Amino acid sequence: MIMDQDPINALTVDVEDYYQVESFTDVVPREKWAGWAPRIDRNTDKILSLFDERGVYGTFFILGWVAERNPQIVRRIADAGHEIACHSYGHHLIQNQTQAEFRADLIRAKRLIEDQSGQRVIGYRAPTYSITPRTLWALDILIEEGFQYDSSIFPIYHDRYGMPGAERFPHLIRTVSGEIVEFPPSTLRLAGQNIPLAGGGYFRIMPYRFFSWGVRRINRTEQQSAIFMVHAWEVDEDQPRISGTWLNVWRHRNNLSRTLPRLQRLLSDFNFAPMRDLLRHPKCYFKQQGDLHTQYPVSAVMD
């Protein structure tokens, strides 16, 4: 049951196709993406239809490569009232790019989706959460290119990404280039460990009752917003099978048939909104990095 006093949670979608995930780059390199049958159009429409049915709005982190070849998708998302945000152009891990390459990729994607959507793009999520201790310089570039928030620093340990000691909840980061709000993908603190609770594969693999209990604990016990995400390809149980290691295939395909039914339940059980709304919501506060006892209402840090 949704309570009026519950914090609002961020509802986000990564708009990328099934063959563009990091797990399959050895099997489907970027130069071969165009040879794969796209399913992004129908999958995005499934999500848009569900959001419309439930009367909710979200933030869509769009891959520039997808937008360039499917401008109609960007327009449909924007026309439906959702927020458009940036998921890079080519889905390169930041640690595999120079600073100049990262900036060029970022600018290319941002300009493209802004032109297509008619929206000012203020949010960014790195491919595979690849802002890590090695790539914190990316935050300076995001600030310099006009981004107001990021959602890439995952406070967990993972074989591909993560910063286990990072702040768990939305907070303000100050760098030499300025300020940016970080929306960490959600985690549940249990037995001294951060348990991923951000959506994606974790949403498919965990029992729904445990996942929803974790979100409710974040909302009611910790009085914080949860940051939820789903990939567009995760609502497509009939997508072509891509070969790979057993672990990569399992991570990608496990419980795909459960994504939509679980998402329907989640939207009924909790308050959701786009990230831009969390920036300006009176119940959303941001801790200042380095002074975790001080909280700042959003109006004090964002224009």
Strands 193-196 and 187-190: antiparallel
Measured N-to-C along each axis, helices 99-117 and 137-144 cross at an angle, to the nearest 10 degrees, of 40
Tens of pLDDT, residues 153-171: 999 877 777 788 899 999 9
SS3 of 99, please? helix
The whole-angstrom separation of Cα 274 and Cα 112 is: 21
Amino acid at 155: P
- pLDDT tops 50 at residue 293: no
**Prediction pTM value:** 0.92
Tens of pLDDT, residues 70-106: 999 999 999 999 999 999 999 999 999 999 999 999 9
230-234, 236-240, 279-283, 291-295, range with the lowest pLDDT: 291-295
What pLDDT was estimated at residue 165? 86
List, in order of start, the domains of the chain with CATH numbers: 9-300 (3.20.20.370)
Tens of pLDDT, residues 45-57: 999 999 999 999 9
Which of these, 66, 74, 168, lies nearest to 118 by C-alpha position?
A: 74
Tens of pLDDT, residues 162-215: 788 899 999 999 999 999 999 999 999 998 899 999 999 999 999 999 999 999
Q: Are 183 and 173 in contact (CB under 8 A)?
A: no
Residue 124 in tokens: 């960014």
Instruction: Give residues with Cβ within 8 angstroms of 291, minimum separation 6.
Output: none
